[in-house]
Amino acid sequence: MAEKKYFWLKLERDFFRSKAIKRLRKQAGGDTYTIIVMELQLQAIGSNGLIKLEGIESPEEELALELDEEPENVKVVLNYLFRIGWAEILDENTLFFPCAIERTGSETQAAERMRQMRSRNNVTQVCNAVTPALREFSENVTLEKEIEIEKEIEIEDKPAATAATARPSIDYQSILDDYNRTCTRLPKVTKLSDARRKVIAARLKSYTPEELHKIFQMAQDSDFLCGKNNRDWSASFDWLMKDANAAKVLDRQYENKDILRNGGDQNGKGGYYARIFSDPEHNL
């Protein structure tokens, strides 16, 4: 009987502070995207960074079923990983994740037992060797670190508080209500999360509330954005609030007349809108 081998994902200490992850987490739904990144790496670490697909469904649909995630979220993450070089397409049914190779740890079952035994012995020896003076020193160092952290948090919070008092208050709920009243053909938004507050604040730096209302109205009038396309996809509040997508809507790229004018049919098949689904900017 073959001996079991264990694999694990090794994350750098600054993994969540890396630009790639910070940029991803700043997106609406970014925490979900980050979890999917780690799930994909876990899927790949036992097979030299490769994920084999059956090819029955689209890659995002097949992976979404495997990971128990939404296909649209998986598609966003895949497009992002392709762009930053963390994922590659080897062939139509094989994805390669070099980021998983770099973060893979492994050991056999026997090695795991030996490591655990050594770990227990080392812990016992260290605990017996710790003197009262060393314990006191360790406690003092921990206390000093906690004080330093509290000071850093206090310093970071002061500029934020000053900036908040300088800016006029934002009526986040009114933006959400305007979307729900206007976009009756799109999914309704019920929760005003912190992530959505950040996105609304970011868009209001570039658009007035009146311009956001215009974006909502144009989305409501667009058959394509309301689900009449060959993917049964429809826009959402989070999608409309992304800067690139809001600009496209205002540029009239989703008006109904463009479907036929660009060589597609009334269901959005072919022509301009067929290309939109292959555009990474459509998702992130």
**Cα–Cα distance measured from residue 162 to residue 158, given in angstroms and rounded to the nearest whole number:** 6
Structure tokens at 13: 């200490």
How confident is residue 54, by pLDDT bands cut at 50, 70 and 90? Answer: confident
Q: Please state the rounded mean pLDDT for residues 265-278.
A: 47
How confident is residue 260, by pLDDT bands cut at 50, 70 and 90? Answer: very low
Question: Distance between alpha carbon 139 and the CA centroid of its chain, in Å?
Answer: 38
How confident is residue 73, by pLDDT bands cut at 50, 70 and 90? Answer: very high
Q: Is the pTM of this model over 0.85?
A: no
Q: Please state the rounded mean pLDDT for residues 231-241.
A: 91
Q: Please state the rounded mean pLDDT for residues 30-36.
A: 91
First to last CA, the chain: 47
Amino acid at position 120, single letter: R
Amino acid at position 114, single letter: M
List, in sequence order, the alpha helices (H) in the chain.
19-25, 30-44, 59-67, 71-84, 98-102, 109-129, 132-166, 172-182, 194-203, 209-221, 237-240, 243-250, 257-261, 271-276
Structure tokens at 134: 């060393």
| pLDDT, mean over the chain | 77
Amino acid at position 30, single letter: G
Q: Determine the 3-state secondary structure of 50 from DSSP.
A: strand
